[in-house]
Amino acid sequence: MGTTSDKKWEPKIVAFLCNWCSYAGADLAGVSRFQYPPNIRIIRLPCSGRVSANMILDALRSGADGVLVSGCHPGDCHYISGNLFARRRFALLTNLLEFVGIEPGRVNFSWISASEAEQFAQVVKEVTETVRKLGPSTRLVKRIG
């Protein structure tokens, strides 16, 4: 993720996807050849309930321009309620981050099922465009030397 001044800047987005729905949705998007921007780097987790604030902030700290967290639709969680617990945590986190001045749109959440390939492509497009408009992330990015 080195900063390259000579090349045109492209947003880098870290996507935390749950194994059972959103990751499968991303997979289906690929198989179905839905075009979406190549700006996301996917990290697969068992459940959106596994995504902690530490991980999201670590992505920002390491220079990610945006973060997408995506899980199953409420009610469809493979572990019955993982995403319902997570939903409360995410709501509080996103509000807190905006409260300290992180731009709205840096950290995003979505519910995408295994069959929603088109929606997945759509969300990635939307997030990429939002982050592109925001420009490179500077807040909470660790700088050394």
CA 113/CA 36 separation, integer angstroms: 17
CB of 8 to other proteins, least distance (A): 18
Q: Say which DSSP state 67 is in.
A: E
112 scored as a contact of other proteins (CB under 8 A): yes
Residue 61 makes CB contacts below 8 A (sequence gap 6+) with 140, 141, 142
CA 141/CA 14 separation, integer angstroms: 14
38 scored as a contact of other proteins (CB under 8 A): no
103 scored as a contact of other proteins (CB under 8 A): yes
Neighbours of 46 (CB within 10 A): 13
| Interface of this chain with other proteins, residues 81 to 100, rule: CB under 8 A | 81, 84-85, 87-100
25 scored as a contact of other proteins (CB under 8 A): no
Tokens of 32: 């179905």
| Contact with other proteins (CB under 8 A) among 9, 30, 46, 75 | 75
Contacts with other proteins, residue ranges (CB under 8 A): 1-3, 53-54, 57-58, 61-63, 74-75, 81, 84-85, 87-104, 108-112, 119, 123, 126-127, 139-145
